[in-house]
A and B are shown apart, each in its own frame.
Chain A
Amino acid sequence: MAADKINLKNPIYYTNRELSWLDFNYRILHEAKDKANPLFERLKFLSITASNLDEFFMIRVASLKDMYNANYTKKDFAGMTVSDQLTGINIKTHELVKNQYSTYNRVFKPKLGELGLKIIDHYEDLNEEQSRFVDTYFENEVYPVLTPMAVDSSRPFPLIRNKTLNICALLGDKKKKDRYDFATVQIPAVLNRIVPIPSESEQTTTVILLEQIIEKNINKLFLNYEVICAFPYRIMRNADLSIEEDEASDLLIEIKKQLKKRQWGEVIRLEIENKTDKRLIKILKEELNVKEEDIFNINGPLDLTFLMKVYSLDGFDSYKDKKYTPRTPKRYVNDESVFDQIKDHDILLHHPYDSFSPVVDFIRQAAKDPNVLAIKQTLYRVSSNSPIIASLAEAAENGKQVSVLVELKARFDEENNINWAIKLEKAGCHVIYGLLGLKTHSKITLVVRKEEDGIRRYVHLGTGNYNDSTAKLYTDLGLMTCDNKIGEDATAVFNMLSGYSEPLNWNKLSLAPLWLRKKFLYLINREKEFAMNGKPAHIIAKMNSLCDADIIKALYEASCAGVKIELIVRGICCLKVGIKNVSENITVKSITGKFLEHSRIFYFNNGGNEEVYMASADWMPRNLDKRVEILFPVENEELKDEVMGILDILLKDSLRSHYMNENGEYVKHATNAKGAIDCQEYFCKLATKNSKKRENENDTKLFEPMKSIQIKQ
């Protein structure tokens, strides 16, 4: 076999994960540019590229900078050193930002103007009436919450907070002409960034950006000075210990030392407006200790996430996608006992097309049901005011045994998580605050119920978090079952999470970090064996990210053996397609849509005995090695067919898909073809159709005339 001669670990067969991530952000930017999308949806996409980039810097770039400072010299599997990666990211990010703003300036501003929405990002453009309005607004609303800070010999340079928008100003001394001082003021986060102001005509809407209001009135903040000039700026800090789990752990100690050495996080990015005064730039650069290449000259308003607020403005509904209301899932009837229904049949949930309410009902009913003895759940990110939390607390108050594993390490959500964890504890729940050294990413709920024929366990397993808000935005799959084998495994999962020894064996579930990697490799290799024996072999896998070297190598080997591999990877994908004798049989597509593609589905042909799995894990080292994750099979034939049907539509989709080509670039195929599918649209329609059909069925059942009478003979 050719594969024997080829070294499949050769770096040229792999893409660096950071650069691949930037490609993903480009794909979203592409959606922002895509005329096929409604204009306001495009605003949203652009806003997402901005918030994504912020997160990327805070987590990934910060991490790389730490490695760089610690003189980490190892190369990644794509053969890049840390400094190679930082350089690559820098070049690509500068390009991306340029692209973002040209989209904003050249496309959005004129288009919005045509629709009668004017965004004023230079206060010089205000008319007299507006000017007066803005000044009054400043005095009444803004001025009281501002804290201007000047820098001179007696006052040191202040701490500029991470991610905040600020205005810096150059202050001239009224007495000495040639001297100037530096001053800065934070744009208050408590006020809305976009402020509606009177329009020139009634048909139009006008808004101004908050920083422009402040800039216009900046001299009112420094009365004894003459304000020479003022410009907004924004920094990104390597503030918290944001070492990612993927990095070498031996590094951690070294980096911790580094962190102690510096007072607060190093500034890793400085955004300024492109006409900013050179003297200001010099001061910022020196005081914040930023490298030249980490300064981003922005041609437009800083921090484009304000576009999300623009999206929410009233009156532009015809330029937005119609709001989709999640439907009642197939095989599920509202207001009936969830337990009876699950006992009768497994239930598959496809969010956000299917409503999340069965999951909420499941826990709510369990809290009230006198036969329920115990409820156990893992919680990762939960919405504020979550009905699930309320139900769990109620269950504990009703005397049920409630155990909840709360993952405090969930990124950015720590504070939120701690608050309701304490609430649960007060209600009498047994709360476990995560596991040492491992993030609990699995999504599983177990309800133990005493029934006439003994103890029965009801389990919900999912690919997404127990969050009723994100369940409307993320595509995820869930399974509700009372299969005894899965129930036993679920019990074992919670025993493990409570610190007890692992079980003797698992029936159906595979868990990371101990077993999941092996299981995936086994499943991939099994297809390879089938292919080598001349049998049909096929893998379809859908996930968020693919960057695990072992898995990629196994996929290359399988491809060489002739396995057909179709990957649907939304974000990072370090695998390359179409390389001769390496990955000729692999295709990769990425789906970006109004819903965030979040489900993880795995299909293996298995010599005709098809197997379908769903999981909380991606094919990333952190998922397979550093987290508690669960892979679960879908075994009910009907549900299996349905999941395979979902995969089929995802593969057929062309309107939402970017396809990776041999050069590692993502391209969209011609979208005007007849019968082209938008998968998210398709699922919305399908769910609506199904639920309408059932409503009609119910109607006819109500008034069903009896057409014949059966007479007993």
Chain B
Amino acid sequence: MIGINTFASITIGSSEISMKIFEISSKRNIKQLDNVRYPCELGMETYSKGRLSHEIVNNVCDTLVDFTKIMKEYDVKDYIAVATSAVREASNCLLVLDRIKLVTGLTVSIVSNSQQRFLCYNAIALKQNEFNNFVGKGALVLDIGAGSIQLSVYESSTLRSTQNIKLGFLRIKELLQNSANYISDYSNVLKELIDSNLNTYSELYLKAWDVNNIIVISDNSYELNKIISDKTGNVVSVKEFNKLYNLLAGLSVNQVSTKLQISSAYASLAQPVAMIINKLIDITGATNLWFPGVNVNDGIVVEYISRKGKSVFEHDFENDALAAARQLAKKYCCDEKHSNNVESNALAIFDGLSKLHGLNKRDRLLLQIAIILHNSGKFINMNDVSVHSHHIIIRNEIIGISHHEREIIADIIDSNYNLGANTPDAIRIAKLSAIFKLADVLDKSHLQKIKNIQVSYKDGIIMLLFKCDKDITLEKIFFDIQAEYFSVVYGIVPGIKQIHI
């Protein structure tokens, strides 16, 4: 039995508690053994009352106790359990987690929206052949959550944009339900709400790209599949979808429930979800819908394996993150030539000093993104740029980058912002920030005078060498200032050496 492990991933979602059991072989083949789902309307409570009641928490605990029994049925060695927005946004979140720990022995961690989205994207890696095929032809990934939807555009296999819109199915339901008494034409109001949001989105993010396919992912994938298509199968043509859409449009919730053989809780979501998809088909002109049928639990196992130093992907999600960052930079009119120059110099320093800083690949990515966005604050005001950049980064989602990581990125740019804070990340941020600042001043003039630097680190001396016959006095002045900061972090004062051609 060497090399084969069973692993459980558990998600406490907004409308269901679910668990998947996987078998992971030493060759990192992943085989799903079980998929257990228990409908539980946590989201309804959190979104309407702000907290989770005692009853529903008991219900969650009972279900999780049963889950632990199922884990024994497969001799599960390891698990990761996460809770999404319904628990995260509940005012008694920490108490709930504590209660779960006491009753079930399970440690549940909270995931942020972007982490959750990223897990879903991770999950697609399990179906990467199809994924690569679809995104190659231009695709819009629609991730339907309870609170919001996430829309990401891929073109030529590269992520072009990603945007979160607060149009989650439970949120819509809640929003309109509260005023249900005033609404005589529910579906029309619903349509206006969806149209207004998505029209704006289309103007801003969608226009430039050619989208042929819409990839739909959601935690309620089973019900979703039924809403999209009356056939089993993962690919649905728009024609087939329209047929079902028109059919569903005239039905009451109860009728939908009977027709699709799904519970009425899910049936009430059918109309908003179908309407969103319909609108997206409208504005993109897509011809096919693909429905990978994966959820957060699949993402967790992929993450679990990559955490163990193995990769399941062929698709480069880091590239997606970079592409998303560059897209943002464009939106905020960053000086691209400057950024590129700083980026390449900083990476040269990072790579040249790997023995000195001991940081990893992920840190390199964060540094890169920080540099791409470091000037975005100028969009707001030419003064205090780094403060504004910090805000912009915190307020924008970058696919594949967790909320926490975004905070790190922002702090790299504006290291004063958090200086002295005794966080475990403080040293990491300081190290990256020092490299960034050094590289930044090498293009103080924004004229890209210094390119292709070579970094030598020998006998405790750091020297940056480059060929250049321009005057670099300005850069030198600022370099000396930043070199001091660098030496505070690393204990070595770096020098530069200009080689005239």
The listed residue (A374, A453, A500, A504) touching B73 by CB distance below 8 A is A374
Closest A residue, CB atoms, query B25:
A454
Inter-chain contact B34/A495, CB cutoff 8 Å: yes
B-chain residues with CB within 8 Å of residue A491 when the two chains form the complex: 33-34
Could you say which residues of chain B place their CB within 8 Å of the CB of A401? Answer: 69-70, 72-73
User: 0/1 per residue, B80-112, Cβ < 8 Å to A?
Assistant: 000000000000000000000000000000000
Among B36-44, B276-284, B330-338, the one that faces the other chain is: B36-44
Closest residue of chain A to B39, judged by CB? Answer: A501
- What is the 8 Å Cβ interface bit string for chain B, positions 13-48, against chain A (1 contact, 0 not)? 000100000010100000101111111000000000
Q: Chain B residues near A450 (CB, 8 Å)?
A: 1, 74-75
Note all chain A residues with C-beta closer than 8 A to B37.
500-501
In the assembled complex, which residues on chain A have CB atoms less than 8 Å from the CB atom of B36?
Answer: 495, 500
Residues of chain B contacted by A644 (CB below 8 angstroms) = none
C-alpha spacing A501/B1, complex, angstroms: 31
CA distance A448 to B261 in the complex (A): 30
Question: Within the complex, which residue of B16, B34, B225, B293 is in contact with A501, where a contact is CB–CB below 8 Å?
Answer: B16
Q: Is the pair A373, B72 in contact by a Cβ cutoff of 8 Å?
A: yes
Closest chain-B Cβ to A377's Cβ sits at a distance in Å of 13
Chain A residues whose C-beta falls within 8 Å of the C-beta of B293 in the assembled complex: 504
Range, interface on chain A: 20 to 34
| B488 touches A (CB below 8 Å) | no
Task: Name the residue of chain A whose CB is nearest to the CB of B31.
Answer: A454
How many residue pairs link A and B with beta carbons under 8 A? The number is 56
Q: In the docked arrangement, what's the CA distance between A126 and B75, Å?
A: 72
Given contacts A430-B69, A454-B4, A455-B6, are A503 and B74 in contact (CB under 8 A)? no
> Judging by beta carbons under 8 Å apart, are B74 and A448 in contact?
yes
Give the one of A453, A454, A514 with max B CB within 10 A.
A454
B32: nearest chain-A partner, CB-CB:
A488
From A373, A374, A454, A501, B38 is in contact (CB under 8 Å) with: A501
Q: Which residues of chain A come closer than 8 Å to B23, judged between CB atoms? A: 454-455
Task: Mark interface residues in A698-709 (1 if CB within 8 Å of B CB, else 0).
Answer: 000000000000
Which residues of A sit under 8 angstroms from B33, Cβ to Cβ? 455, 491
Across the interface, which residues of B come within 8 angstroms of A514, CB to CB?
Answer: 261
A448 in contact with B35 given A454-B23, A501-B16 (CB within 8 Å): no
User: Nearest CB to that of A484 among chain B residues?
Assistant: B31
Question: Restricting to A490-515, which residues have a CB under 8 Å from any CB of B?
Answer: 491-492, 495, 498-505, 514
Smallest Cβ-Cβ distance to B72: which chain A residue: A401
Task: Please give, as numbers and ranges, the residues of chain A lying within 8 Å of B73 by CB-CB distance.
Answer: 373-374, 401, 448
Question: A314 at the A/B interface (Cβ < 8 Å)?
Answer: no
Least CB distance, B232 to chain A, in whole angstroms:
5
Residues of chain B in range 48-77 having any CB-CB distance to chain A below 8 Å: 66, 69-70, 72-75
Residues of B within 8 A of A286 (CB): none
Q: In the docked arrangement, what's the CA distance between A450 and B34, Å?
A: 14
Which residues on A sit within 8 Å (CB–CB) of B490? none
CA distance A504 to B233 in the complex (A): 10
Whether a CB of chain B sits under 8 angstroms from the CB of A452 is yes
Return the chain A residue nearest B24 by Cβ: A454
| B417 at interface by CB-CB < 8 Å | no
The reply to whether B72 and A501 form a contact with Cβ atoms under 8 Å apart is no
Asked whether A500 lies within 8 Å of B75 as measured between CB atoms, the reply is no
Q: Give the contacts of B436-495 with A (CB-CB under 8 A).
A: none
Query: Is B221 interfacial (CB 8 A cutoff)?
Result: yes
* Least distance between B128 CB and chain A CB atoms (Å): 19
Q: Which of A401, A430, A498, A501 has the most CB of B within 10 A?
A: A501
Q: How far is the CA of A138 from the CA of B261 in the complex (A)?
A: 64
**Shortest CB distance A511–B (Å):** 12
Per the bound structure, the CA–CA distance linking A401 and B74 in Å amounts to: 9
Query: Which residues of A are found within 8 Å of B4, using beta-carbon distances?
Result: 452-454
Closest CB of chain A to B78's CB: distance in Å?
15
Q: Is the CB of B69 within 8 A of A501?
A: no
Whether, in the assembled complex, B186 has its beta carbon less than 8 Å from a beta carbon of chain A, the answer is no
B72 CB contacts on chain A under 8 angstroms = 373-374, 401
Residues of chain B within 8 A (CB-CB) of A453 are 4
| Contacts of A372-415 to chain B: CB distance below 8 A | 373-374, 401
- What residue in chain A is nearest B220 (Cβ atoms)? A501
**1/0 per residue B350-392: CB within 8 Å of A?**
0000000000000000000000000000000000000000000
- Residues of A with C-beta under 8 A to B34: 491, 495
For A498, the closest partner residue in chain B by CB is B66
A334 to B34, CA, bound (A): 32
Query: A502 to chain B: which residues have CB within 8 Å?
Result: 222
Measured in the bound complex, the distance between the Cα atoms of B221 and A503 in whole Å is: 10
| A711 to B: closest C-beta gap in Å | 41
Task: Name the distance in Å between B196's Cβ and chain A's nearest Cβ.
Answer: 33
Q: What is the CA–CA distance of A451 and B73 in the complex, to the nearest angstrom? A: 13
Indicate with 1 or 0, residue by residue over A425-440, a CB within 8 angstroms of chain B CB atoms: 0000010000000000
Q: How far is the CA of A448 from the CA of B25 in the complex (A)?
A: 18
The residue of chain B having its C-beta at the shortest distance from the C-beta of A515 within the complex is B261
A495 to chain B, nearest CB (A): 5
| Closest residue on chain B to residue A505 by CB atoms | B232
Cross-chain contact of B222 among A495, A498, A504 (Cβ < 8 A): A504
Within residues 16 to 33 of chain A, which ones have a CB less than 8 A from any CB in chain B? none
User: Closest B-chain residue to A457, C-beta based?
Assistant: B33
Chain B residue nearest in CB terms to A402? B73
B74–A455 touching, CB < 8 Å:
yes
Interface string of B196-232 (1 = CB under 8 A from A): 0000000000000000000000000110010000001
Contacts A495-B35, A504-B221, A514-B261 known; list 8 others, CB within 8 Å.
Answer: A373-B74, A448-B73, A450-B1, A450-B75, A500-B37, A501-B38, A503-B35, A504-B35
26 examples of A-B residue contacts, CB within 8 angstroms = A374-B72, A374-B73, A401-B70, A401-B73, A430-B69, A448-B73, A450-B74, A451-B1, A452-B1, A452-B4, A453-B4, A454-B4, A454-B25, A455-B74, A491-B34, A495-B35, A500-B36, A501-B16, A501-B37, A501-B38, A501-B39, A501-B222, A503-B222, A504-B35, A504-B293, A514-B261
Top 6 A-B residue pairs of the complex, sorted by shortest distance between their CB atoms = A374-B73, A501-B37, A401-B73, A504-B222, A454-B23, A454-B4
